[in-house]
Amino acid sequence: AQICDFFEAHEGSPIHQLSAKHGMDSSELPGGDLDIPFGYGELISRLAQPLVDDGTIRLGHKVVSVETSSPRKHSKSVASEVMVRCEISDGDEQVFRASSCIVALPLGVLRSGLDPSHSNGPLFSPGLPGSVSDAINNLGINVMNKLELTFDSRWWPRGLGWLDIGSSLPGRSPTYHPFSLFLVESEATPSKPEAPNVLVCYLTGEFAKRAEQWTDAEAQEECMEAIRRADFPAMEGSAGEVPDPTGVHMTRWLSDPFSKGSWTFLAKNSGLLSMKTFRKDKECQKRGLFFAGEHTCDGSRKGLDIGTVHGAWLSGEVAAKRVVGSN
């Protein structure tokens, strides 16, 4: 059960969906792990704000279609080959035309855009080449959500980094542990008495998908029941009881229409060649389409690591250089 939990927590996917041959092929940068003060939101805001201020980034624009003309001929510069239609938050439509387009949509959004029954019709017109569509469909999209619980006081032992408990649900396998990994995100200390007391439970795989259907209150009830069934040493609080949280928040990445999943993993019938397809497909390049995102990271250069933020960033740089080189 612990081995199963480890792989599912690392990859965020059910272990039976991982490729036995390529599931752990991905690379990663050397060095230790660091926390970003105030989270990724702060990092993204600082990077994006100058581009928002000068109008380079258009907020409130939802892409509904990417239309391309016939493949390029031998000429290296052909204008207006790509037309991107957007719905604006005020209800209007805006169309952008360019000779090239970098598609950095998440893999889950790309996959939904291949569905003919999609609310706005297929995302790409004409459709993507078969090899690219196959890569989009074969790569795995994991779901990892965070359930954040805030308490008035710290009831767990001081200095604890994480809690790892065995929990179960009626009628499920004894190796199925839906609430198992909790990280202590913050706790009050003598030097920081005002710091919040926050536990974060990581939900992965099929259970994460199921939990997205719960309200925050329902998720709190289920999680607290699992915590209270565990036998924690040196519990603090009245009579060793675990208090109710004063605040709760759960992410729902699969339900988010602009993500439709958390990140990419190597599923059965996929491998590093699947990611290379986004960069290598000649027909897309002739139509002016280039791809970026963590799902395109094939490890061909240092830092192009699937399922990582730095990989997504570097893939954008790689795509931009290819666009410049094609014009």
Q: Are residues 110 and 135 in the same domain?
A: yes
- Split into its structural domains, the chain has a count of 2
Final residue before a domain boundary, out of 250, 280, 314: 250
Within a domain: 11: no
Within a domain: 2: no
Task: Specify the DSSP element, H or E, that contains 316.
Answer: helix 309-326
Q: Are residues 269 and 240 in the same domain?
A: no
Q: What is the CATH number of the domain that holds 85?
A: 3.50.50.60
Within a domain: 128: yes
Position 213 scores a pLDDT of 96
Within a domain: 3: no
Q: If you average pLDDT over every residue of the chain, what do you get?
A: 85
CA 179/CA 162 separation, integer angstroms: 13
Within a domain: 118: yes
Q: Are residues 274 and 132 in the same domain?
A: yes
Q: Are residues 160 and 209 in the same domain?
A: yes
**pLDDT over 70 for what percent of the chain?**
84
**Which position has the higher pLDDT, 235 or 280?**
280
- Please state whether 247 falls in left (phi above 0), alpha (psi between -120 and 50) or beta: beta
Q: Are residues 308 and 287 in the same domain?
A: yes
Q: Is the pTM value of this prediction over 0.75?
A: yes
Q: 46: which 2 tokens?
A: 């600082």
Q: Are residues 70 and 215 in the same domain?
A: no
CA angle 38, 40, 46 (to 5 degrees): 85
**Which position has the higher pLDDT, 32 or 67?**
67
Q: 15: which 2 tokens?
A: 């272990």
Final residue before a domain boundary, out of 250, 277, 305: 250
| Residue among 229, 142, 212, 141 nearest 177 (CA) | 229
Q: Are residues 193 and 113 in the same domain?
A: no
Q: Are residues 230 and 315 in the same domain?
A: no
Domain containing 278: what range? 50-140+265-326
Give the pLDDT mean for 300-325: 92
Q: Are residues 148 and 234 in the same domain?
A: yes
Q: What is the CATH number of the domain that holds 195?
A: 3.90.660.10
What is the tens place of the pLDDT at every residue in 131-167? 999 999 999 999 999 999 999 988 888 888 888 776 6
What is the tens place of the pLDDT at every residue in 47-94? 999 999 998 999 999 999 999 986 555 555 544 489 999 999 988 999
